[in-house]
Amino acid sequence: MGKFVFADPHIPFLFEKVRKLLAHTYLRVEAQNFSNTLFDTDNMSVIRGGSMKLRNAITSVGTLLGTRATRVRVGAEAAVFRMGSADDALVCMKEARQLLAREAPEFTIALATATADTDALGIDKTAAAVRWTQGRSARLVVPAPAKTLEICPLTRVRPADTAFDGEPPILSSSAATRKRDGQDLKQKFYTSEVGPELADGLQLVNDLQELSKAGPYPAIDGKMAVLSMDGNSFGKIGASLKGEDSRHFDQHLKSLRKRLLTRILNFMTESKVLPRERARAGRLRLEVLLWAGDEFQLIVPAWLGVPLLQEVFAETSTWRAGAGADSDPLTLSAGLLICSHKMPIHRALHLAEQIQLRAKSKAKLGPVPVNAWDYLVLESLDYPATMNIDQFWQLRLPPGSAPIPLLACDNYPEKLAVLKRALEEADSRRKVYACAQLIADPDAPHKVETGEWQQSSEGTAVHQAVSALLPTAAAQAPQMAWLHLRELWDYILPRPKKAPAPAEEVR
């Protein structure tokens, strides 16, 4: 077929003129260079303060723009707005820069505009514009000249020129400000998200050692669970909404986040649990590092990682994009890293995010995204910083045998109880480990004996219970259930400390 030619040569120009008239101008505000501005320390108060300060600054931009802009997407680190005109965008960009310089001077934050026909295209084009400016900008805010040669002990790169609360050690002004915010804004965060009824009187641990140590499970004491969660195509779904659902999508997400955090806090304050399981000296073993838009990062003790994640999925199973029952479901992908509390927090968060992205690759394969998660259990701190998750499994398993991410489990407590009974009746942790070993070494000497146990009623019951508790996001060899059980056994069925035997009566 030949190329179509307009009879009137002016028509293409008219089409282009109409397209430009119908196009919108989008403004993006995005924080960058987190390794130099947020994760330049392992001090939890400093990281928490920086994260919350950045979240509040991004939110303040939306408040500043008010009715002059429509919120397209607002997250913890970036926001995109649809402006009334290109002139409005330039004026608002100038005002936003001034606001951010006052409220978040420690951060490198890029602002860019782009013209697009749709919200989805506006998100992509402004993202490209911001990426282009990133390579042309400083990677950190250069501190003011200082009269000292001392280096901040928390960031190790900035001059130590500020006394924190008037006492040693002397910190950089950036670390001191963020640390103070990490202490002051923590309570305000919970009050703003869930309301004073639930937040008042809430006490939380201050560091990862306090969070993970002195629990009721000595075998995994000192380990933490780092959870990274992200929405599946929330931006695309939001851009496709019409009418009231479209206008109220951002407020709708805020309501869903409130419900989710309320459920998490109710889970953490549940009374019918072992002493010191979810709180220590009255302080909840919970750290929230990211909570905005469709992005969440939490840290809890290792023994709470899987049950808390399933609690999250139970809450999000009813999430919809709009008010109608036929609205698109809103689902999450999650990465769960179980590791020592001594692991550098920036590495732990990066790994958890990589695990989450691996889960997302399976969560979005079907016609409708699903709640999915993946995990990694590190027994030591020697995980290479440059190794990815697939390479990790390649070192432990035959080619092509890496476990597939998992789906959310319906009725998790009930199915966990079924697995617990099956394991008690089988009474053989050694056989479960032998089953998992056959994946890496199919010709192991115990192959015949282990295969017979797998076919027994006890082995079959355990396998069925594990498969129901930890369903995979795609078809995979049935024996992978044994690997999941071996990796997660101590964290889904932790063994409490044995009570001391009663002293014999002296006669």
pLDDT reading at 502 higher than 80: no
Backbone phi, then psi, for 411, in 5-degree steps?
55, 55
- pLDDT averaged over every residue in the chain: 89
Would you say residue 406 lies in a domain? Answer: no
**Residues 296 and 255 placed together within one structural domain of the fold:** yes
Helix segments in 317-397, DSSP class H:
345-363, 389-396
Residues of the domain holding 227 = 184-383
**Residues 369 and 424 placed together within one structural domain of the fold:** no
Please report the pLDDT score of residue 12 as a whole number.
52
**Strand, coil or helix: 461:** helix
Would you say residue 392 lies in a domain? Answer: no
Q: What integer is the mean pLDDT of 80-101?
A: 93
**Residues 69 and 200 placed together within one structural domain of the fold:** no
Would you say residue 142 lies in a domain? Answer: no
**Residues 249 and 105 placed together within one structural domain of the fold:** no
**Residues 487 and 348 placed together within one structural domain of the fold:** no
**Residues 339 and 191 placed together within one structural domain of the fold:** yes
**Residues 207 and 328 placed together within one structural domain of the fold:** yes
Q: Taking the model in full, what pTM does it have?
A: 0.89
Helices 173-194 & 44-65 angle (0-180, nearest 10)? 60
Q: Which residue has the higher pLDDT, 372 or 473?
A: 372
Count of beta carbons in the 10 Å neighbourhood of residue 98: 11
Would you say residue 217 lies in a domain? Answer: yes
**Residues 196 and 302 placed together within one structural domain of the fold:** yes
**Residues 316 and 429 placed together within one structural domain of the fold:** no
**Residues 374 and 424 placed together within one structural domain of the fold:** no
Please report the pLDDT score of residue 268 as a whole number.
97
Q: How confident is the model at residue 14 (pLDDT cuts 50, 70, 90)?
A: very low
**Residues 245 and 293 placed together within one structural domain of the fold:** yes
Would you say residue 503 lies in a domain? Answer: no
Please report the pLDDT score of residue 455 as a whole number.
94
Beta bridge pairs of residue 243: none
Q: What integer is the mean pLDDT of 226-248?
A: 87
**Residues 267 and 357 placed together within one structural domain of the fold:** yes
Query: How far, rounded to the nearest angstrom, does the alpha carbon of residue 199 sit from its chain's CA centroid?
Result: 22
pLDDT digits (tens, 9 = 90+) for 325-347: 788 999 999 999 999 999 999 89
Exposure string over 8-42, b if 16+ CB within 10 A, otherwise e: eeeeeeeeeeeeeeebbbbbbbbbbbbebbbbbbb
Q: How confident is the model at residue 15 (pLDDT cuts 50, 70, 90)?
A: very low
Count of beta carbons in the 10 Å neighbourhood of residue 155: 22
pLDDT digits (tens, 9 = 90+) for 23-52: 899 999 999 988 888 888 889 999 999 999
Please report the pLDDT score of residue 6 as a whole number.
55
Domain count, the chain: 3
Could you give the C-alpha distances from 474 to 117, 201, 356, 364, 404, in angstroms and in order? 37, 44, 16, 11, 7
Count of beta carbons in the 10 Å neighbourhood of residue 203: 12
**Strand, coil or helix: 367:** coil
Would you say residue 439 lies in a domain? Answer: yes
Q: Can you tell me the distance from the alpha carbon of 363 to that of 409, in angstroms, rounded to the nearest whole number?
A: 14
CATH for 287: 3.30.70.270
**CA angle 331-332-337, nearest 5°?**
160
C-alpha R_g of the chain: 26
Last residue in a domain, options 101, 134, 167: 134
Would you say residue 450 lies in a domain? Answer: yes
Would you say residue 51 lies in a domain? Answer: yes
Q: How confident is the model at residue 507 (pLDDT cuts 50, 70, 90)?
A: very low
Contact 496, 217 (CB under 8 A): yes
